[in-house]
A and B are shown apart, each in its own frame.
Chain A
Amino acid sequence: MEKMHRIILKNRKGQIGETMTWVVATLVVIAVLGVSIVFTKTANPFSKEIYSYDKEKDFLASLSVTNFLSENTNVNYLENLDKNSELKIESLLLTMPAGTRYKGEWSLDLENSGDSETINLNLKYLLFPEFFNIKIEKSNLKLNFWAKCPTTCK
């Protein structure tokens, strides 16, 4: 009787092994699907909000700067850059924040007959800034302005 029982058990070892394989495979499939579903749900919270990241096409920033340059006294300010004109340009930069959700700032690099000066607002919150460059040339002036945003300009 004992011997018979051992034989039956020995014969079932293959079946048990195969069943275990399928059970584990099923658990793996469920786990992979579960992780995928959780990942889809959690890793995608903001992706439904479509933002315009490309600040090179920031119409209002370009409009502000070109409007500013259409006034000759402002061009003179830029050509004879001193503390007052820097303050004026900083005021201009303050009127045009970059980004919607995370407000960034524009900086302006001014090149006049070989001399170069960068003007920015020095807001110290930029850990991983993104940069977008826009170039404008007027008479001897070359303006290069760019946006810096906290992590992203969206």
Chain B
Amino acid sequence: MEKILSVYWFAILLIVAGGIVAMVLIFYGKPYDVRELEANALMNQVADCISTDGEMAYPLSELETNFLENCHINFKTENAKNQFYLALNFYDFNNIGAEVAKGFYEGNPNLKGDLIASSLFANEKSFYVLNKDGEQPKEIVVKMLVIIDKNGENA
């Protein structure tokens, strides 16, 4: 009888251990998805770079030139494929549909095309800034769209 009980106890131990291992695997098996934080950090960096003391730090017409270098942004990752897409558009605050300057993008434009079909992360935010650049409207809204791939690392 005691022999049977010993075997039974080992069986119970295995079941309990297996259950705990299964729960841990379910809980920690997938990586944490931090792309929202990455997108926020990127947008904060861009906003901080292009807005100084309430005004645009660069003329709108010159913003695109060496944008990533000027804003100390580096899209390089361990992947060969670029994992980031950042688009900037500029609208008149008093007429929100009207673009005041030509928008531009940095990073991988293919991500925008893949957005609907895949589980890429996208976030769009905007902020108010004053533009002292001559003819263009004084109050503008800068819209930033960030798309991050990094599916393998986060999902």
Contacts and interface: CB of A to CB of B under 8 A. Distances in A.
B71 interface: no
B54 A40 contact: no
A118 interface: no
Interface in B135-151: 138-139, 141
Interface string A39-73: 01100100011111000000110011111111100
A67 B43 contact: no
Contact of A37 (B23, B47, B139): B23
A134 interface: no
Interface string B22-59: 11001100111110110110011001100101110000
Contacts of B37: 50-52
A125 B53 CA distance: 35
A70 B37 CA distance: 28
Contacts, number: 99
Contact of A92 (B27, B55, B128): B128
A119 interface: no
A60 B42 CA distance: 11
Nearest to A25: B12
Interface residues of A, number: 36
Contacts of B33: 48-50
Contact of B26 (A33, A41, A49): A41
A92 B124 CA distance: 16
B127 A60 contact: yes
A67 B126 contact: no
B38 to A, nearest CB: 10
A60 B47 contact: yes
Interface of A: 22, 26, 29-30, 33-34, 36-37, 40-41, 44, 48-52, 59-60, 63-71, 91-92, 94-97, 100-101, 154
9 contacts: A33-B15, A34-B19, A37-B22, A40-B23, A50-B32, A50-B33, A63-B48, A67-B127, A100-B40
